[in-house]
Amino acid sequence: MNKTMKQTILLVSFLILSVLLIGVTHAVTAGPLEDQRAQLGAEAVRELLPATHRMTEVEFEVGDSTLTHIVRCYDAGGTFIGYVFTVISEGFVGDIEMMVALNPEGVIQGLQVIEHSETRGLGADIGEEWFAQGFIGRSGMLFGSHNATTPQEIDILSSATISTEAILRGVNDATAYLTGDEAPLEAVPEAEPDPAGFLEAAEFWPEAAETERLNMEINFDGNGHVIGYVFYVTGQGHYPIHMAVAIDVEGVINGVQVLHHNETWNFGAPVLEDDTFFEQFVGRSGTFTAVRNAQGPQEIDTISMATLTIAGVLEGINDAMELFNNLHQ
C-alpha cells in the first residue's frame, strides 16, 4: 500500500471518528441542555408570577398570532393563578422574543423581553425594566400614543414606533387568547382626526345655501328654511367609530358616513368600508336594532364576526336620531 493510499484511509477514518464523536456528544449533552432550557424557562415564569408552584403547557393553534408557547400556572395550593405567554414579534431590526404574564382576569402581572436586536438608544429601550413596568396592572387591548393619558394607552418610545408596536402586538395577542377578543392588527394607530371636525354640507345637502354649526350642522335652503341636519356621533365597536349622520326635517336618514375608525381589517373594517351596508339606512327613520334575517322596518341585518362593529354603528345612528328628536320636542 503506497503512502498516498495510507493517508487517504487515515483521513477518512478521522472524519468518520469525528462524526461519531459529534453524534455521541450531542446524544450525551442534548438531554442536559434541554433540561437547562426548561429550567431557565421555569425561572423566567416564576419571575413574572412569583407564586407559581406548578405549571402545565397549553396546546394551541398558532395561526397569525405572535404566540409561540403558553403555560398555565398554579400556586402551592393548586389554584390557577394565570398564564405566562412566550411571544415572538417582528421589530425594526429583527425578531423580539418576550414573555408576558396575565392573571385569570386578564390583568398584566409582568413583562420581560428575552432577546432582541433593536438599535441601542432607540428601540433597545424595550428591554429596560422601566418600560416593562408601564404595562403592569393594565388590561384589555393596548395602543401606542405619543401623549398617553388613558389606561389603554402606552407611551411610544421616542424614534421607536415599530419596536413599541411589536411589544404591543405581542401583549395584545396574549390578551386576545385569554379574553377571546380580537387583537388589533395595528397597535399604534394613525393620529385620530378631531371628531368635531366637520364635512362640507354639500356632502349631504348639495342644495344648501347656508350652514349653521352647533356640534352639528343645520342646513338651510335659499329661503332660510331648514332642510336637514348632520349629526357628528361616536359609537363604540371594538374601538370608537366616528360617524356623520344626515337626517332631514322629517326625521328620515339622508346618508351615513364613517369619518374614522380602528376596527380590524378582516372583521369590522370591511363593514364600515362597504357603501351598500350604509345604503340600507337611507330613507328610514326611528331606532334600529340588529337581528339575523332582518325583516322589520327598524331591523338591520347583523353580520357574522362583526357583531360589535354593527352595534357601534347602530349606537351612533340611534344617538343621532335621539338628538334629532330632542330638537323637535
What pLDDT sits at residue 37?
46
163 in the same domain as 224 = no
Regarding whether 311 and 228 lie in a shared domain, the answer is: yes
3-class state of residue 295 by DSSP: coil
Which residue is it, cell 393563578?
81
User: Are residue 80 and residue 145 in the same domain, yes or no?
Assistant: yes
Residue span of the structural domain in which 253 resides: 201-327
Same domain, 116 and 229: no
Residue 191 lies in a domain: no
> Mean pLDDT lowest for which of 89-103, 186-200, 305-319?
186-200
In a domain, 111, yes or no: yes
> Looking at the 3D structure of the chain, how many domains does it have?
2
Question: In which order are the strands placed within the sheet that holds 95-102?
Answer: 54-57, 67-74, 80-90, 95-102, 108-115
Last residue of a domain, one of 179, 210, 225: 179
Is residue 192 scored above 50 in pLDDT? no
pTM, two decimals, is 0.49
Tell me, yes or no, whether 220 and 144 share the same domain: no
User: Same domain, yes or no, for 232 and 268?
Assistant: yes
Q: Are residues 146 and 81 in the same domain?
A: yes
Are 309 and 272 within 8 A, CB to CB?
A: yes
What is residue 39's predicted lDDT score, i.e. its pLDDT?
56
Same-domain check for residues 213 and 174: no
Tell me if 149 is assigned to some domain: yes
Structural Rg of the chain based on CA atoms = 29
286-304: average pLDDT: 83
133 and 238 within one domain? no
- The answer to whether residue 11 sits within a structural domain is no
Q: Looking at the DSSP assignment, which residues form a beta bridge with residue 70?
A: 85
pLDDT in tens, 38-97: 555 678 898 999 999 999 999 888 777 899 999 999 999 999 999 999 999 998 788 999
Q: Looking at the structure, tell me whether residues 240 and 161 fall in a common domain.
A: no
**Does a structural domain hold residue 14?**
no
Domain termination site, one of 149, 179, 209:
179
**Is pLDDT above 90 for 167?**
yes
The answer as to whether 38 is a domain residue is no
Residue 26 has pLDDT above 60, yes or no: no
Instruction: Say whether both 152 and 266 belong to one domain.
Output: no
pLDDT confidence of residue 262 = 80
Q: Assess if residue 301 is contained within a domain.
A: yes
Of 179, 211, 235, the domain-final residue: 179
Give one DSSP letter per residue of 12-50, joined into a string: HHHHHHHHHHHHHHHHHHHHHHHHHHHHHHHHHHHHHST
- In this prediction, residue 17 carries a pLDDT of 61
Do 217 and 312 belong to one domain?
yes
**215-236 pLDDT, tens digit each:** 578 888 888 888 999 988 888 8
Instruction: Provide CB contacts within 8 A for 262, sequence distance 6+.
Output: 184, 186, 189, 238, 239, 240
Report yes or no on 39 lying in a domain.
Answer: no
